[in-house]
Chain A
Amino acid sequence: MVVTVTAPAPQDAALTTGWDSEAFVLQGADRAELRERVLTLANTVERQAGISLQEIAVRLAVELRPGGSRLAVVASSSPDLVTKLRRAADRLADPKCKQIRDTNGLYFFEQPLALQGSLALIFPGEGAQYPGMLADLCGVFPEVEDTFSWCDRLAADAGRASLRNILHPTPEETVAAEAELRKLGPSIFGVLLADLAVTRVLQRLELPVSAIAGHSAGELAALLAAGALDSETMLGPSLVEIMDLMQQLEEEAGGPEVALLAVGAGRAVVEEVTTKVAPGVIVAMDNCPHQSVAVGPSHLIAAVESALLERGLVCERLPFRRPYHTPMFEPWMGRFRELFAGIPFHQPHTPIYSCSTGARFPNDPPSIRELTVNHWVSPVEFTRMIETMYADGVRIFVEAGPRGNLSAFTEDVLRGKPCAVIPANVTRKSGPTQINHLVAQLAAHHVPMNLVNLHGSLDLASGGRDSPVQVAHVENRGVTSPARQDTVAIMDGYLSVMEQFLDTQREVMEAFLSGRPAHVTIPQELFAFPDFTPQVDQQPPTTSHQQPPEFCFVGDVVHHELGREIILRRTLDEREDIYVDDHTLGGRGVSRVDPAQNGLPVLPMTFSLEGMSEAATLLAPGKVVIALMNVRLYRWVPYDPEPTTFEIRASVTSIDEQTGVVEVRANVRDLSNSFLQDGANKPSSEATIVLADRYPEPPEPRPFVLTEEIPCKATVEELRRNMFHGPLFQMLRSLDRYGKEGIEGTLEVQGRDHWFRSNANPRVVIDPVLVDAAMHILGAWHLEQPDWSGRILLPIGMQSLEFFGPIPEIGSKLLVRGYNEEETARQARHGVELFGTDGRPWFRLTGASYWRFYLPFGDVNFFGPKDQYFLCSRVPEAEVSDASRCYFLDPPLDLQQPVLRASGMRVTMTPREMASFQSTELDEAAKSDWFFSRLVSKDAVRSLWNTQQEGGTFPADMETDVVGDRIVCRPRDAATTDKYPPVATAIVKGKVAAFSAFAEQLGIGMVLVKKGDAESTLRVEAAQLAVADALKIPADGWRVEVGKKAGQLLVTHAGKKLRVQTARQKDAIIATTICEIDPA
């Protein structure tokens, strides 16, 4: 940075209606000649008052040729230009001056970046919008005006107000527009429009774009620009639909519980705090080392914010409640996926990078679609993506959208590295001036472009700003072609060199990893890790597309660059992976008719860890896995009735040449499943795997002091009944002592011969079943707690899992301890230590976070036996007599997630019901209604039936059907429906009530209470609905009066007063009747 003399102060952004500055690009054969020209021009402008700056700019543009030495100046007046030229001349005279980057408009680079790397466009998403964005470009570039006019037309076609009213408000409307623009729908749509407008301006320049990427919703613009999205389909009603849907999703998804916190620090710092304070908080946006956005429940965010502020960090609560880019958004994704399913995708003509994976998008359209849609539930990995692009050779980033946020992020990510990051628009400069700054910097970096076309935005028909410009433009239209060809040749050469370099480096890495010398002699400075030589493995070098190794979880090796990255795929097939029969979400033994019916088989978390560990071991053969760090679990991977494909991706992130420690970042996913449809192809979990030449020495055990220590009350058998794991995972042998701080027991290491049907001796890295089984000690700790509310615990992550030796022998009896690290209303955090036969820790798990589920089942254990439990809430106040039952369910969001809903179905529905569900085409909301209406009906009928019978009835042993418009229940696989009492069911906005009674005529009505409603009026309405339901006639304005019993109403129909019982359940009024006539 050089601080020098006064120059005219830059202009603040103000709405202008035309060009308020010019970009001048001067060129010389070398620096000396360039300086001469700079001085000549300064003198000329100084001498000739009134000289046309536009003419100068265009003439210079026309003269521009590749190569040489360049200076670019942005100036708004002749004095401004002269001042800057003279300053530049002074700087150029100084041989120490390697570059000039003066944001007031002076640019020179001795080593231009266009000769060192490629150029990428990056598109901002929501957050970049501001009222009035690009308004001052509308009068300069017809294509910008055209883009916003299109918005007007689209709105007119849809019969609604144009978004442009908000985007370009009058001064009086600005405050209101700002608030409106913060909403998700308008912000996404608005920024997309602005991105497209800027893209069209850039197209005019014919920039050599070699890569494209977007941030969050900016990916849509990136996909359009790269040709992956069909603009004709996309830029029409679909866009309006997406905007509406996003807005709707925001309104539904946000809740008082969700908060977003922008932090002036990178992910690592924030995660360090969240791990300690609130592991449930997710870094939803990793923007750069000095900005990330954390999302989580408000109370946890408050804790994180407080901890970060204590560290002196800058934090700011964002004024919205969108849990997008986190798994918390998953319940709302169904409609979004449906919408995108109808939008065609294409193979892109330019490589696109994904802000979900930080890597390149795949090329095939279905995969692009999946990744695009899933971006909404995946964290924004902007830092990683920019690092990848840089590693791939991008050196110049042009932000093709409003505000310039991404440029700041990118500069921060690449701080200290040679790069140019240039926004096309900023809030503090006028639109045309910032375009000039963009052009000036690109030109100074020798980016080939059609500068003359920029000036073509002048109104040439009327002679433009000055008539000589028109002449210059027309006469020199063809000048850009040679420049572009030359640059292509240069780029080809560059790429060729890069490929050779990469090939060489790859070969060297392989050589080092396999212990053989490299074939080629290359300079030492190209060795990324010169001392990294494995100590143990002497196997022949691994090559791409090798045969699958013997690890049990490795299927096909899709891609393998030794020491760099690997992609593995294997089939998830319930028939082969028989271990999964013992890992069924929802519980076990859910039917008396079919004792083998269990919950939904899901891949155990520890098998995902095993898969990642195996991939890491293949990347660094000869090394052992000593730890898995920062494990994140995003979703379940369910087993489908039909085989699905499971993918493991892993890449080496660091190698410590001193210690030989290798770190591998890995993730796993299934590429499809019937529950999430195209939503499956996103990481289900990820972790960093740490490998070393040998295991570290076992540490001292963690302090284990149990206050008020007592022997465990629960038995191993009780624990087994309360978990959803089958015999393979049941290794605990005793539960010995417990206290507030933890619990202690023993386990026995079991054999691995029954995990797979065709592999009786699976080779493993971490023994996933043993690790899983050791964690059961934590379930035992919870079993000892007096309060069972929120004790349905499912893992969401772990801080670290460390190993201190090889897997213990089968048959070993080991001490296991569980630690209670922290318990909050929504999460529990634990640790586990499993001790080897020598009494020293074999593995240590810390910071294992579990989400506490509060399913509305009272004391019911979701994983326990279901014949005695009723999954919904009974509403006795709505029952007309003891010989009737009324149940209600407001399905919690947890249970509406496709996989959890599927697991609920597996334990409460019969196979015929499940087949019927699978074969019916329904949207997500209708699927929930289908399932929950049957579930509640079964509960009402079972509850009433049990008053007449000994013993309970499993929901899965009761089958429902729809006769007329009513659900009827019958015994599983029975033809008759007359065994069980009838049931009436009501569904309103997802809430379900069911009423069963031994009666010929029965009916139910339900209405929801809204703020300000008179409850008495709603009870009357519900009562009329119940009578109408019972009599199977439309509700009418029947007379209603209050009965003698509390909550009782009398509905007069056909001269008779029919009794109806009403009750309020949360925000619902439920009315039931068996059409008893009131004698009074």
Chain B
Amino acid sequence: MSRTTEQLYADLATVMATAFPDRDISVTVGPETRVFADLGMASIELIVLGERLEQFYGGKLPYGPFLAGLRKQGAEDLELGKLVEFLQSHVK
């Protein structure tokens, strides 16, 4: 059974807290939160995040193609909602 949206947000919060333990975020996190503009992440950290998500879920995710798709669309930032949608499609 797939994980619920709420579970995925909770997962994301756990993974981010583990991956970037020295960061504090004072914004309200939601689907529209942008990883670069709002969370202050760098693009490399997005790669790190993908790596940690794979570790967390214990399997490969098509994270590279996901990011490549965003780039093709000309996206300048990644909203957490989109990331959660991606996880919803690929995390069992």
Contacts and interface: CB of A to CB of B under 8 A. Distances in A.
A288 interface: yes
A407 interface: yes
B24 A2 contact: yes
A84 B25 CA distance: 12
Given A291-B44, A315-B64, A1 B17 contact: yes
B85 interface: no
B25 A102 contact: yes
Interface bin, chain B: 35 or more
B37 to A, nearest CB: 6
A37 interface: no
B51 to A, nearest CB: 8
Contacts of A7: 26-27
Task: Name, among A99, A101, A314, A409, the residue most crowded by chain B CB atoms within 10 Å (CB to CB).
Answer: A314
Contacts, number: 101
Contact of B64 (A4, A6, A9, A314): A314
A87 interface: yes
Contacts of A103: 23, 25, 39-40
B27 A9 contact: yes
A404 B26 contact: no
B25 A12 contact: no
Interface in B55-77: 60-65, 67-68, 71
A44 B47 CA distance: 43
Contacts of B29: 3
A784 interface: no
Interface string B1-41: 00000000000010011001111111111000000111110
A4 B26 contact: yes
A102 B26 contact: yes
Contact of B24 (A9, A12, A101, A290): A101
Nearest to B19: A1
A1 B16 contact: yes
A312 interface: yes
Given A1-B17, A312-B64, A428-B36, A100 B24 contact: yes
Contact of A1 (B20, B38, B62): B20
B44 A408 contact: yes
A313 interface: yes
Nearest to B29: A3
A412 B47 CA distance: 10
A316 interface: yes
B53 to A, nearest CB: 12
B26 A288 contact: no
Interface string A307-331: 0010011111000000000000000
Contacts of A6: 26-28
B25 A264 contact: no
A103 B20 CA distance: 12
Nearest to A423: B42
Contacts of B27: 6-7, 9-10, 104
Task: Name, among B13, B39, B48, B50, the residue most crowded by chain A CB atoms within 10 Å (CB to CB).
Answer: B48
A2 B25 contact: yes
Interface in A58-108: 84, 87, 91, 99-104, 106
A100 B48 CA distance: 22
A924 interface: no
A1047 B51 CA distance: 66
A104 B37 CA distance: 10
A9 B25 contact: no
Given A1-B16, A3-B29, A408 B23 contact: no
Nearest to A308: B64
Nearest to B45: A408
A411 interface: yes
Nearest to B54: A312
A84 B50 CA distance: 30
A3 B29 CA distance: 8
Contact of A99 (B13, B22, B62): B22
A974 interface: no
B38 A9 contact: yes
A979 B57 CA distance: 84
Contacts of A3: 13, 17, 25, 29
A5 interface: yes
A1 B21 contact: yes
Given A1-B17, A1-B20, A264-B64, A314 B26 contact: no
A494 B67 CA distance: 45
A540 to B, nearest CB: 48
A314 B44 contact: no
A104 B47 contact: no
Contacts of A290: 44, 47-48, 51
B31 to A, nearest CB: 14
Interface in A371-420: 404, 407-409, 411-412, 415
Contact of B42 (A91, A99, A312, A411): A411
A815 to B, nearest CB: 44
A2 B22 CA distance: 9
A4 B29 CA distance: 8
Interface in A260-275: 264
B67 A12 contact: no
Given A3-B25, A7-B27, A104-B27, A404 B40 contact: no
Contacts of A415: 48
Nearest to A288: B44
Task: Name, among B28, B38, B44, B50, the residue most crowded by chain A CB atoms within 10 Å (CB to CB).
Answer: B44
Contacts of B51: 290
Contact of A408 (B21, B26, B43): B43
A106 B50 CA distance: 27
Interface string A280-320: 00000000101100000000000000000100111110000
B63 A404 contact: no
Contacts of B25: 1-4, 102-104
B26 A104 contact: yes
Interface in A1-26: 1-7, 9-10, 12
A7 B39 CA distance: 12
B16 A312 contact: no
Contact of B68 (A102, A314, A404): A314
Contacts of A2: 17, 24-25
A1070 to B, nearest CB: 49
Contacts of B62: 312
Contacts of B50: 314
A312 B37 contact: no
Given A10-B37, A428-B36, A1 B48 contact: no
Given A103-B40, A408-B45, A312 B63 contact: yes
Given A3-B29, A312-B63, A408-B43, A10 B24 contact: no
B17 to A, nearest CB: 4
Contacts of A411: 42, 44-45
A489 B19 CA distance: 36
Contacts of B48: 290, 412, 415
Contacts of B20: 1
A6 B61 CA distance: 31
A12 to B, nearest CB: 6
Contact of B38 (A4, A10, A288): A10
29 contacts: A1-B17, A1-B24, A1-B25, A2-B24, A2-B25, A3-B25, A6-B28, A7-B26, A9-B27, A12-B37, A101-B24, A103-B23, A104-B26, A104-B27, A106-B24, A264-B44, A264-B47, A264-B64, A290-B47, A312-B60, A314-B50, A314-B64, A315-B64, A316-B71, A407-B42, A408-B43, A408-B44, A411-B45, A428-B40
Given A99-B22, A264-B64, A411-B45, 16 more contacts: A3-B13, A3-B25, A3-B29, A6-B26, A10-B27, A102-B24, A102-B25, A102-B26, A103-B23, A104-B27, A106-B24, A312-B60, A312-B63, A314-B67, A316-B71, A408-B44
Interface of A: 1-7, 9-10, 12, 84, 87, 91, 99-104, 106, 264, 288, 290-291, 309, 312-316, 404, 407-409, 411-412, 415, 428
Pairs A-B, 6 closest by C-beta atoms:
A103-B40, A408-B42, A102-B24, A1-B17, A7-B26, A264-B47
